[in-house]
Amino acid sequence: MLKSDIDKPLLFSVLALIVFGLIMISSAGIIYSETRFGDAYYFFKRQFLFGVIPGLLVLYFVQRIDYHYWKKISFPLFLISIIFLLLVFVPGIGIKVYGATRWINLGPISFQPSEMAKFTLIMYLAAWLESKGTHRIKDFYEGFVPFLGILGLASFLILKQPDMGTLGVLVMIAVSVYFVSGAKISHIFALGSLGAALVFLAVKLEPYRFDRILAFMDKGADPQGIGYQINQALLAVGSGGFFGLGLGHSRQKFNYLPEPVGDSIFAIIGEELGLVGAVLLISLFMTLAYRGFKIAKNAPDEFGRLVAVGITMWIILQAFVNIAANTALIPLTGIPLPFVSYGGTSLVFLLFAIGVLMNISKQSKIT
């Protein structure tokens, strides 16, 4: 017996996260918006017009498309995302922001190709791994080496932007899908060792990456320099206490905390809504994770199972990395909080992925 209705708990958690995000973008960005653009609700309006509205339209249409369709075009989609990742380095098309080239501008449209790469990599890996079968996946030359090549191609282009935070999330998503498909544990350990060596090399080659590690290890080393953002984030979270200072009453958003509507928005949530607000937000992500893994468990086929795992891990890993960075559990990464942080490209692709997940749910077996 198959389901035909919308997965209501999944939809509710996603919509609740979007509404939560709009409220917090409105609150956290009011000073930054006024100072930079002369409009207190600049970020709120743009998130609603260019993120929420197109994202929900995409969600509506994608959840009606049989998810097997994406399997048929997974390779062309992945190839297109690789081309877009290359275009960020083309003068006149790639846009440099804060010293990193992560955006492309195609006429009236500008977006981050790395967000598309997360989605297309999940689709292509799921289709490729299903075609291999468990026995060939475990083989070093037929499974491990090609997987390393696929992941390495996308990883290299994202590293060149540079965007270490996105690279880390992308690698963890890919390894999660690879592991669930039946990969050998020894191959996973080999990937981990190789990744650790490459991270060490990347940190050694770029001083700013070492500075972030230093700020993580010693918060008081340079509180007005390399340790400024994490210290301001911790001050925001710590001052919120149990119930918070109240919605709209953050002090850190008064041009103290960098990127209050972006990767630092969780710190503002902790300051204004306290532990209660933070727990509510985390509960919504946990609900989404539960539904996502349940959909994966009951998926009709291996492709659906791997896609569901990949999409769920994408959202949960990115949320964990953002929250952990804002609470000094890991070094700062610049990763946005899914559905909550400001960013139209991220929201649209996340809702695209949720649409696919909902279609898998529709075709899942009832347990």
Q: Does residue 2 lie in a domain region?
A: no
Write down the mean pLDDT value for the chain.
Answer: 85
pLDDT digits (tens, 9 = 90+) for 304-359: 999 999 999 999 999 999 999 888 888 777 789 999 999 888 899 999 999 999 99
Measure the CA–CA gap between 121 and 177, rounded to whole angstroms.
10
pLDDT of residue 313: 95
pLDDT of residue 55: 94
Of 196-210, 267-281, 348-362, the range with the lowest mean pLDDT is: 196-210
Into how many domains does the chain fold?
1
285 or 132, greater pLDDT: 285
Measure the CA–CA gap between 243 and 253, rounded to whole angstroms.
18
Q: Does residue 343 lie in a domain region?
A: yes
pLDDT digits (tens, 9 = 90+) for 40-92: 889 999 999 989 999 999 999 999 999 999 999 999 999 999 998 888 888 77
Q: Does residue 174 lie in a domain region?
A: yes
Calculate ∠ Cα 362-363-367, nearest 5°. Answer: 90
> Stretch 229-257: mean pLDDT, rounded?
83
Q: How far is CA 201 from CA 67, 83, 160, 195, in A?
A: 39, 26, 14, 10
pLDDT digits (tens, 9 = 90+) for 13-39: 999 999 999 999 998 888 888 888 888
**Domain range for 356:** 8-362
pLDDT digits (tens, 9 = 90+) for 123-181: 999 999 998 877 788 888 888 888 889 888 888 888 877 777 888 889 999 999 999 98
Whose structure tokens read 């981050």?
112
Of 90, 118, 82, nearest to 106 by C-alpha is: 90
Q: Which of 192-196, 241-245, 293-297 has the highest mean pLDDT?
A: 293-297
pLDDT of residue 331: 79
Q: Does residue 1 lie in a domain region?
A: no
Q: pLDDT category, 2, cuts 50, 70, 90?
A: very low
Q: Does residue 109 lie in a domain region?
A: yes
Q: Does residue 341 lie in a domain region?
A: yes
Q: Does residue 335 lie in a domain region?
A: yes
Q: Which of 6-15, 108-117, 160-169, 250-259 has the highest mean pLDDT?
A: 6-15
Q: Does residue 367 lie in a domain region?
A: no
Q: What is the DSSP string of 275-313?
A: HHHHHHHHHHHHHHHHHHHHHHHT-SSHHHHHHHHHHHH
